[in-house]
Amino acid sequence: MKKVVCLAFGIFFLMSVSAYSKDSKIGYADVFKIFNGYVKTKDYEKSLEEKKKSKESENKLEEKKNTIVKMQDKLDLLKSKEKEEQKAKIKKAITEYRNIESKIYTDLKKESDAKMKEIISDINDAVKNYAIKNDFDLIINKSATVYGKDEMDITNNVLNKLNGEYKKK
């Protein structure tokens, strides 16, 4: 008797789930394609490249490097006591060079991370707003989809909307 009740309950549950899922509107989006096609992403990548090639950063490093080279060139001309002092100065200059280089890299990394979070947030908001506006119950990432009909793909719609809104700003 318990088996029959459990079986009946199981069948009822599966039927209710399948009935509900037939009324659901599901879609998928290729988040990587949206990210790479988003104009804001491209604009930021250009900005980042410019900052990496910044003359100010390059000048600081180049100046420090030239100082180290000059100090090393003088090393052979010095006496032993002076050589030791010069080696200590060179070591200190190399440490300063590495610190400057590290600071530049760290600053760029922090800025990049913050901008990536902002872009991802924009994409998530755009997908969510598109889903709400178009009465979707569920949107999944294409990378998690084994199969989906082309009609379920909202990638281009979201990307076009996202880029249109960005260009207005």
List, as own/partner pairs, every contact residues 117-122 make where C-beta atoms lie below 8 angstroms and the sequence separation is at least 24, other chains included: 119/35, 119/38, 119/40, 119/41, 119/44, 120/35, 122/38, 122/40, 122/162, 122/166
Q: What is the CATH number of domain 25-168?
A: 3.30.910.20
Q: What is the pLDDT of residue 20?
A: 52
Angle between helices 55-75 and 80-133 (to 10 degrees): 160
CA distance 159 to 112: 21
Distance separating the N- and C-terminal Cα atoms of the chain: 67
Q: What is the pLDDT of residue 6?
A: 46
Read off the pLDDT of residues 75-118 as tens digits, 9 standing for 90 and up.
777 777 777 788 888 888 888 888 888 888 888 889 889 999 99
**pTM for this model (two decimals):** 0.68
Residue 88 CA: distances (Å) to CA of 60, 68, 72: 21, 11, 11
* Strand residues in 10-168 grouped as ranges (E): 26-29, 138-141
Q: 33: exposed, middle or buried (C-beta count within 10 Å: 0-12, 13-18, 19+)?
A: middle
CA distance 126 to 108: 27
Q: 85: exposed, middle or buried (C-beta count within 10 Å: 0-12, 13-18, 19+)?
A: exposed
Q: What is the pLDDT of residue 94?
A: 85
- Spans of the chain below 70 pLDDT: 1-22, 55-57
Q: What is the pLDDT of residue 161?
A: 93
SS3 145: coil
Q: What is the pLDDT of residue 11?
A: 58
Of 98, 74, 96, 69, the residue nearest 85 (C-alpha) = 74
Provide the token pair at 157. 């719609």
